[in-house]
Structure 1
Amino acid sequence: MKLRLLPDTLFGRLVLILVAGMFGGQLLTSTIWFETHDNRTLEIPARLLASRLADTVRLLQASPDAAARAAIIRQLSDARYRLRVIDAPVPEPAHTVAQQAIEDVLAGVLAHRLNEAVELRLIDAELTDDAGQHRGIFSLFESRTPSGEFHVQLQTSGTWLDVVAHEGQAGMASEPRSLAIDYLLRIYVIRFAAALLLALIAVRVAVQPLRRLAVAAEALGRNVYRPSLDLAGPREVRVAAQSFNAMQQQLIRAIEERTRLFASISHDLRSPLTRLRLRAQMLPDEVSRERLSRDLDEMDAMVRATLDFAQGVEITEPRRQMDIDSMLRGLCDDIAETGVRVALDGRAGAPVSGYPRNLKRCLQNLLDNAIRHGGGASVHMNDDGDAVRITISDDGPGIEGEGMLERVFEPYFRVGPGRTSGSGLGLTIARSIAMAHGGTLVLVNRPSRGLDAVLRLPRDPWG
């Protein structure tokens, strides 16, 4: 089985492209969330460090000499707050957005606490997990109290201090699992669901004109005289609809030209056929005369049948609501006048949209076929609301072979001895008319004897 990487429909592919694009963009921009959270988590330790640095600077500024300042530095230094005097600061490295924000926090708090600006350089600032390891952004998800590790250099009383400090969250703790769930839920699940819903709605609206065009193209195969497409929607869709309407008009003109051609051929052939028939009557040999007359009759029947077929499937009337009950009752009454009784039961619950003249021709052909091969016919009508189902049954010999049940719809095809009369176009015309109504026509052999012709007419053929 071949693996399908893309959906089979344009709708599915557009949705996939939009959602994948939005999701990929979200993955690329999710670093903003990490930096924001990183900055916010480092902010409390940075403010604590800034307050501690301000106290240190204030003590050093109040010391009378270098020896006193050195003593203060030794007393203040511990494992989490290491101070040392340096000759000159190192060049300040390039900062990330989060590190620059931390430097601004440190400088701002110092200036506020000391009432003066202090020259300060942030060398490094990053999060550590509960074990004191540098885990980067993973510290946000693996630690309840991630700490900040800072390396700062600042100038006070003409002396440069190098400070390496660790500060915590001032007693505040977080749940890494809750943080991860919050991140995945808010950043991905909710946004992904929103993007998917938006893509489904937007793409559905965008491809709706194409869907209408596809439905119209399918309906055109059943009825070339269907209403033209509305020129609505985006410019590309309007151009496609305009081209589709132009093609439909070309097909209609081609069909009309074909019908006129058949009519002309039929008219032109009748004169030479009539002359040949007259000359055949003048032949002295009776056997030859009869053979030629039969051939001429067959040719004339084929010409009439071909013209009849062209006229039978051509739709020249507007679509309108039809009373199927009255139409079938009238056909059965007409047949009864010829001495053949046709049983009729069931009824349609409401009128059906279609072409009355053509549908009447379809039903007439099916009734004639049943009477010709079964000596009579019975009609049963059933309406399920969505479609009207008309079953015309006969008691004839039926049709042997499942393949033959389809072949009899081919033009001029006739089966064995039981069903040899006629031109072989009646069922072809009937099925063509059924398709023009958006319906179906099938033949089914009954278990005991006879044949059922089942005609289904939907109420909404183009829906």
Structure 2
Amino acid sequence: MKLRLWPDALFGRLALILVIGMFGGQLLTSTIWFETHDHRTLEIPSRIFASRLADTLRLMQDAPDDAARRELAAQLGDDHYTLRWIDGPGVAKAPSVAQRTVENLLGDVLARRLHRQAPLHLMDAELIDDSGRHRGIFSLFDSRMPSGDFHVQVQTPGGAWLDVTGQEGQAGRQSEPRALVIEYLLRIYAIRFVAALLFALVAVRIAVQPLRRLAVAAEALGKNVYRPSLELSGPREVRVAAQSFNAMQQQLIRSIEERTRLLASISHDLRSPLTRLRLRTEMLSDAASRERLSADLDEMDAMVHTTLDFVQGVEITEPRHQIDIDSMLGGLCDDLAETGAKVALEGHAGAPVSGYPRNLKRCLQNLLDNAIRHGGSASVRVQDERESVSIIISDEGPGIEGKDMLERVFEPYFRAQPGKTHGSGLGLTIAKSIAMAHGGTLVLRNRPARGLDAVLSLPRG
């Protein structure tokens, strides 16, 4: 089975777009979290370095002359704290947010310790990992005690400038890199991702609900054009679409009613000329011609009546009701038995089925008439299922050869054995149209030995 990365449904697409957008935004803003931890990790080394630098400046302040200050600078330096005299301050690169914070922190500590402002330029301040490499915020994830590496230029009390570099640690404070990563991934990503996903699912579900109702209404319209109009609710675009949908439904209803009236008028208007033609045919002296013309007139009259009958048979003009299938089948079978037909009924439906009583009765009547016409008898079996009811009407006729024929017999005016059976070829067409109007199916299948099964499945909903 091929994995679909792009969902097929609008619900899934909108939810995926929202989640990716929120997650992408989180990735872009995750630097805020890194910078916060970077500031926090640099804070202790910055305070220690600032205190050491303040002590250096205070000692130089007490020195009698420049020579003593230079000698003192040489004595105070070590491997992690170097002091070098320069002619004047250099040009520092544009500081980052973290470096600006460190520079302000150094200035505040110097001001409190020296009781005055000391001119200071921060050239660089960065975290280094346990092995002494400059890795910035990445040292937070693999070092237990990341240190601060500082480079400043400060003016001494005598007016000369010192270039000072130093490395200071965390004063014994250790961190757990693995715990930091877990905390970041869990708190920043996992929790927010789950929250964003839930929010997206709920929000998109609310947003597409009107569209889902519109899709359900469109599907129901194909089964019953007389269904209730769609409620005008939801966003403006959906309300406009629903209003257009209702207008289309009304136009379809008017078109069907006009077609029905037209066919009824044609049927009525054709009766007079057909009657006149029939009278004139009877006056013909040639018996052979008279017989042929009479047959043609009978066929024309039958076509007019069956076409009107087809239109009226598939038209849904009544509301849905809960139908007692057992009572309906029992009544139909009793009526056929009174005419001398052989009909057997077995099984029962455990609960009523929602449908249109007049049309469903017409559907079952056509299927029973077909079975008796082609097989001489009919056997009806009802199978009750949880979501639907299946009605199987069997006959003992010759069946239908070929899978294509089993589908073609549902076409209007098509007969599998023309000339051998009576009827207009519309019975199965009407039956299948009614089954579809109920949201069900009607299929034909040949029985293993002899005969044909017509399986009508009706959903309970």
TM band (smaller chain): over 0.9
Partner of 1:303: 304
Runs of 4+ in 1 over 6 A off after TM superposition: 1-5
Deviation, structure 1 residue 81 = 0.5
Map 1:321-332 → 2, pairs under 5 A:
321-332=322-333
Partner of 1:278: 279
| Alignment partners' CA distance in 1, 2:365 and 2:139 | 84
Partner of 2:84: 84
- Residue deviations 1:331-371, cap 9 Å, x none? 11111111113111112222211111111111111111111
Deviation, structure 1 residue 2 = 11
* TM-score normalised according to structure 1 size: 0.95
- Residue deviations 1:123-157, cap 9 Å, x none? 11011122222122222223222211101122232
SS of equivalent to 2:245: helix
* 1:378 and 2:364 correspond: no
Q: Given that residues 379 and 391 in structure 1 are in contact (C-alpha distance below 8 angstroms), is that contact kept between their aligned partners in structure 2?
A: yes
Partner of 2:191: 190
SS of equivalent to 1:306: helix
Partner of 2:156: 156
Q: Which amino acid in the other structure matches residue 360 of structure 1?
A: K
Q: Given that residues 209 and 233 in structure 1 are in contact (C-alpha distance below 8 angstroms), is that contact kept between their aligned partners in structure 2?
A: yes
Count matched residues.
460
Deviation, structure 1 residue 114 = 2.9
Partner of 1:428: 429
Deviation, structure 1 residue 252 = 0.6
Q: Given that residues 152 and 163 in structure 1 are in contact (C-alpha distance below 8 angstroms), is that contact kept between their aligned partners in structure 2?
A: yes
Unpaired segments ≥5 residues, structure 1: none
Partner of 2:102: 102
Q: Given that residues 322 and 352 in structure 1 are in contact (C-alpha distance below 8 angstroms), is that contact kept between their aligned partners in structure 2?
A: yes
| Alignment partners' CA distance in 1, 2:142 and 2:3 | 39
- Residue deviations 1:389-433, cap 9 Å, x none? 111111111111111111000000001269632100000001111
Q: Which moved more, 1:334-343 or 1:360-369?
A: 334-343
| Alignment partners' CA distance in 2, 1:33 and 1:3 | 35
| Alignment partners' CA distance in 1, 2:146 and 2:217 | 64
* 1:254 and 2:255 correspond: yes
Q: Which amino acid in the other structure matches residue 167 of structure 2?
A: H
Partner of 2:10: 10
SS of equivalent to 1:7: coil
SS of equivalent to 1:442: strand
* 1:355 and 2:356 correspond: yes
* TM-score normalised according to structure 2 size: 0.95
| Alignment partners' CA distance in 2, 1:340 and 1:19 | 66
Q: Aligned residues: percent identity?
A: 76
Partner of 2:117: 117
SS of equivalent to 1:170: coil
| Alignment partners' CA distance in 2, 1:228 and 1:345 | 40
Map 1:24-63 → 2, pairs under 5 A:
24-63=24-63
Q: Which moved more, 1:168-177 or 1:308-317?
A: 168-177
Q: Which amino acid in the other structure matches residue 42 of structure 1?
A: L
SS of equivalent to 2:214: helix
Q: Which amino acid in the other structure matches residue 8 of structure 2?
A: D
Partner of 2:237: 236
| Alignment partners' CA distance in 2, 1:299 and 1:451 | 31
Q: Which amino acid in the other structure matches residue 287 of structure 1?
A: A
Deviation, structure 1 residue 5 = 6.4
Q: Which moved more, 1:227-236 or 1:136-145?
A: 136-145
SS of equivalent to 1:161: strand
| Alignment partners' CA distance in 1, 2:136 and 2:155 | 29
SS of equivalent to 1:403: helix
- Residue deviations 1:235-255, cap 9 Å, x none? 110110110011011001100
Q: Which moved more, 1:2-11 or 1:146-155?
A: 2-11
Q: Which moved more, 1:402-411 or 1:196-205?
A: 196-205
Deviation, structure 1 residue 11 = 1.9
Q: Output the aligned Cα RMSD.
A: 1.9
Q: Given that residues 397 and 418 in structure 1 are in contact (C-alpha distance below 8 angstroms), is that contact kept between their aligned partners in structure 2?
A: no
Q: Given that residues 61 and 158 in structure 2 are in contact (C-alpha distance below 8 angstroms), is that contact kept between their aligned partners in structure 1?
A: no
| Alignment partners' CA distance in 2, 1:66 and 1:311 | 117
Deviation, structure 1 residue 95 = 1.1
| Alignment partners' CA distance in 2, 1:419 and 1:35 | 91
Deviation, structure 1 residue 385 = 2.6
SS of equivalent to 2:200: helix
| Alignment partners' CA distance in 1, 2:217 and 2:99 | 62
